Amino acid sequence: MAVAKFAEIKNFMLTQIEIGAWPEHSRVPSENELAEQFAVSRMTARRALQELTEQGILYRTQGVGSFVAALKSQSSLLEIRNIADEIHSRGHSYRAELLQLTELPCPATVAAALGLKHNERVFFSLIVHFEDRQPLQLEARYVNPRQIPDYMAQDFSAITPHLYLSQVAPLTEAEHTVEAILPDSFTCQHLQLKKPEPCLRLTRRTFSRDGAVSLAYLTSPGSRYRLGGHLNFAPAGATRSS
């Protein structure tokens, strides 16, 4: 079997959701309906529904039906994740727009964070990450030129800074702060916000073996983005499907 049948059903349903044919909280076909449409047994149709439910794409209620869950962008705080992967894994298209890539004299706060001298040259990139056609995150990043001398030569429409950096200088450590802020007009403009709305700002400082590599400010509208995390303290609890 080239591709499993239940996977085909899943793909079909994901497509319907992505193109908006099945909006949030709308009902999706029942197990029996899917079984008939795809000429499979109910158990196979069920498996597709089941797995989509486990992935958080659907929710189901016994006796009522299956429905499209509200999906809001979500990333894990616990792993340093590439925003491009994150968007792709939701089945959406990713695009980056490079606004600036320059060398700057280092502001004092950045100098302290990266272990540079005040006004020493530092690399700076400014990028907007798009999910489909909507800007999801504004990334302002300072990079330590002592550690990453070739940073300016990269094509950041093809590779995200984070991915490039982690290839060149393997991460050993990272530090985060999460804040809720009201964005300035410059940020609003690039996130295409007509009015300032609360935004999450993730400040991330990454370290390689030889010290601080980069300092990034990642700003996302609160209405489009949230951070998620998961901690396991033990083999997870038993029955949580019931």
Q: How far is the CB of 120 from DNA (least distance, A)?
A: 10
- The option from DNA, a copy of itself, none interacting with 240 (CB < 5 to 8 A, set by class) reads a copy of itself
How many residues touch DNA (CB under 7 A)? Answer: 30
153's CB contacts (< 8 A; 6+ apart) are: none
Report the site for DNA in 31-70 (rule: CB under 7 A).
Answer: 31-33, 39-44, 46-47, 49-50, 60-66
Q: How far is the CB of 192 from a copy of itself (least distance, A)?
A: 17
Q: How far is the CB of 1 from a copy of itself (least distance, A)?
A: 10
Hey, what are 204's tokens?
A: 């991330």
Q: Among residues 25, 81, 118, 226, which is the contact residue for DNA, using CB under 7 A?
A: 118
Cα 33 to chain centroid distance, Å, stands at: 34
Hey, what are 80's tokens?
A: 């340093």
Report the residue number, 33 or 132, with the smaller CB distance to DNA. 33
238 binds DNA (CB under 7 A): no
- Helix (H) or strand (E) holding 101, with range, is strand 94-105
For residue 92, give the DSSP letter.
-
Alpha-carbon distance of 104 to 122, in angstroms, equals 5
Report the residue number, 103 or 175, with the smaller CB distance to a copy of itself. 175
Q: Among residues 25, 117, 209, 226, which is the contact residue for DNA, using CB under 7 A?
A: 117
Report the residue number, 66 or 147, with the smaller CB distance to DNA. 66
Query: Taking CA 104 as the corner, what is the angle to CA 106 and CA 162, rounded to the nearest 5 degrees?
Result: 90
Q: Which value, in Å, is the radius of gyration of the alpha carbons in the chain?
A: 22
Strand order in the sheet with 65-68: 27-28, 65-68, 58-61
Site residues (vs DNA, CB under 7 A):
1, 4-7, 30-33, 39-44, 46-47, 49-50, 60-66, 117-118, 241-242
